[in-house]
């Protein structure tokens, strides 16, 4: 500890006190947490949850642990220094922050939570005092002393987190909670950021539950049967409350932010979004003209999937209109891989219009696409439409195009239907020779691309 000079006291808690210090050699400011309990071995110190979690978590929105010092059986944690916390930022604000600033704060917290949950930890004590900041531009999650591993086996202690930000399942003494309690706490923090006052300031656990029900309404037994089982075990009866719309509780919040709040503040933990799911809410889609739901996860290798976007449109197909967007129909079908194959694929319906505009058959073939070659081959040879030969048969060309476009090409792991290609006899032993032997060499690429 002689490498640091203590500048001032920052805070004092149940398990330790925090001071601001400065390195003697570099002048860097740090925050040093001095644990009140004595540690008589390094193994005992390294088994602390805060040390184990911070050693594994390295993220821009999680406070960094610089080093651990054990001196005279006293344990010191050296952290990066942050000017204040979110509680001080809310308290000192002269007026409520604009929504873009609040969106940036919540986005950073969710990014840190997503990283933490992805690596198998959940915080359990998320509150404004544990969100360190350097102004509203940079937020970092701190104080992981109560963090637990997701893979650790319950039961957990039922006295975690500050009461105002405690999830209802924890208030009902559930010992099998998990990461969703962090999302509930974040919902409470988000509402407090908009109103500059706590959302559920209960004086006790019973009063806390009554305040939650007064705002969100009484949960139904069908909605949250596990909560009623926990309440009956404690001989607690939910108060009959109709609830208040969140738009009245948080009047300055926009509709996308109210949708996020309503999702985070749901009674059943399974119904709350995960941190990555919350990051995909429309609230964070800044500048997007059209917000669509996230695509469903695709299988890595699927032998039955067909690329429907390359199928020709049905004759009686109607354009699909997107709600809220005027004048936008279904996008025209086009081959996304035309630049790789040598030109854009033109379907039969499009080729007729092109012929009428251009007055010649050559206008229907844009480049040397595979489909154009098939249409030419089905119509009477390679010279059809370009060299004055016979015109391609429309029925044969349409059949060849439909058969080719119906095959599941381009999809990794699927079988490619090669019945439309001429078989190339491969004579490996006769034609594959060593360099410099004088025998004729074979251009295999030219053979496959004929």
Active site amino acids: 125
- Dihedral sign (CA 145, 149, 153, 155): positive
Place of tokens 């999809």: 411
- Minimal CA–CA distance to 54: which of 142, 128, 136, 140? 142
From CA 231, how far away is CA 442, in angstroms rounded?
80
Copy the structure tokens of residue 149. Answer: 């591993």
DSSP annotation of 68: E
Return the closest-CA partner of residue 184 out of 267, 277, 96: 267
Q: Using CB atoms within 10 Å of the CB of residue 98, give its burial: 0 to 12 exposed, 13 to 18 middle, 19+ buried.
A: exposed
Are the C-beta atoms of 11 and 142 separated by less than 8 Å?
no
Closest CA to 128 of 68, 156, 166, 88: 88
* Cα separation, 351 vs 359, whole angstroms: 11
Beta bridge partners of 50: none
* 3-class SS of residue 367: coil
Q: What is the dihedral of CA 439, 441, 442, 445, to 10 degrees?
A: 170
Instruction: Give buried/exposed letters for 123-152 (b at 16+ CB in 10 A, else e).
Output: bbbbbbbbbbbeebeebbbbbbbbbbeeee
Contacts of 306 (CB under 8 A, 6+ apart): 406, 408, 411
Would you say 33 is a known binding-site residue?
yes
Neighbouring-strand partners of residue 12: 17
- The DSSP bridge partners found for residue 140 are 132
Cα–Cα distance measured from residue 341 to residue 25, given in angstroms and rounded to the nearest whole number = 62
> Which tokens in the block code for residue 54?
């911070």
The count of other CB atoms within 10 Å of the CB of residue 376 is 22
Q: Which of 45, 38, 27, 13 is nearest to 142 (CA)?
A: 13
Q: Give the chain's largest Cα–Cα span.
A: 97
Residue 30 has a CB neighbour count (10 Å cut-off) of 19
Known binding residues: 33
Known binding residues for ATP: 33
């Amino acid at each position: 500890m002689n490498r640091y000079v203590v500048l001032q006291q920052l805070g004092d808690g149940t398990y330790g006190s925090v001071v601001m210090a400065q390195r003697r050699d570099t002048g860097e400011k740090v925050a040093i947490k001095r644990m009140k309990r004595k540690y008589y071995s390094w193994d005992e110190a390294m088994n602390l949850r805060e040390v184990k979690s911070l050693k594994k978590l390295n993220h821009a929105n999680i406070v960094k642990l610089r080093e651990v010092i054990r001196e005279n059986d006293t344990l010191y944690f050296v952290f990066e220094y942050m000017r204040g916390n979110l509680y001080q930022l809310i308290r000192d604000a002269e007026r409520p922050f604009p929504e873009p600033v609040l969106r940036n704060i919540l986005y950073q917290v969710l990014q840190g939570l997503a990283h933490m949950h992805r690596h198998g930890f959940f915080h359990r004590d998320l509150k404004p005092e544990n969100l360190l900041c350097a102004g509203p531009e940079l937020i970092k999650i701190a104080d992981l002393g109560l963090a637990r591993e997701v893979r650790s086996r319950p039961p957990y202690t039922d006295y975690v987190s500050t009461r105002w930000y405690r999830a209802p399942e924890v208030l009902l003494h559930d010992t099998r909670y998990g990461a969703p309690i962090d999302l509930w706490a974040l919902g409470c923090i988000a509402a407090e950021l908009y109103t500059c006052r706590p959302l559920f300031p209960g004086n006790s656990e019973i009063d806390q539950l009554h305040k939650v029900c007064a705002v969100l309404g009484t949960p139904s037994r069908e909605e949250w049967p596990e909560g009623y089982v926990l309440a009956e075990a404690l001989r607690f009866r939910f108060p009959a409350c109709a609830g208040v719309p969140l738009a009245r509780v948080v009047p300055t919040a926009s509709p996308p932010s109210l949708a996020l709040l309503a999702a985070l503040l749901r009674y059943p933990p399974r119904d709350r979004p995960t941190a990555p799911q919350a990051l995909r809410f429309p609230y964070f889609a800044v500048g997007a003209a059209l917000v669509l739901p996230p695509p469903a996860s695709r299988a890595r290798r699927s032998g039955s999937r067909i690329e429907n976007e390359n199928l020709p449109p049905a004759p009686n197909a109607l354009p699909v209109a997107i709600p809220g967007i005027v004048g936008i129909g279904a996008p025209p079908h086009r081959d996304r891989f035309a630049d790789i194959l040598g030109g854009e694929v033109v379907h039969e319906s499009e080729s007729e219009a092109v012929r009428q505009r251009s007055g010649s058959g050559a206008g229907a073939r844009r480049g040397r696409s595979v489909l154009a070659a098939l249409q030419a081959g089905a119509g009477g040879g390679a010279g059809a439409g370009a060299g004055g030969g016979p015109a391609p048969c429309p029925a044969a060309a349409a059949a060849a195009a439909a058969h080719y476009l119906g095959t599941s090409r381009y999809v990794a792991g699927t079988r490619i239907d090669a019945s439309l290609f001429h078989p190339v006899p491969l004579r490996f032993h006769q034609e594959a020779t060593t360099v410099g032997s004088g025998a004729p060499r074979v251009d295999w690429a030219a053979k496959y691309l004929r």
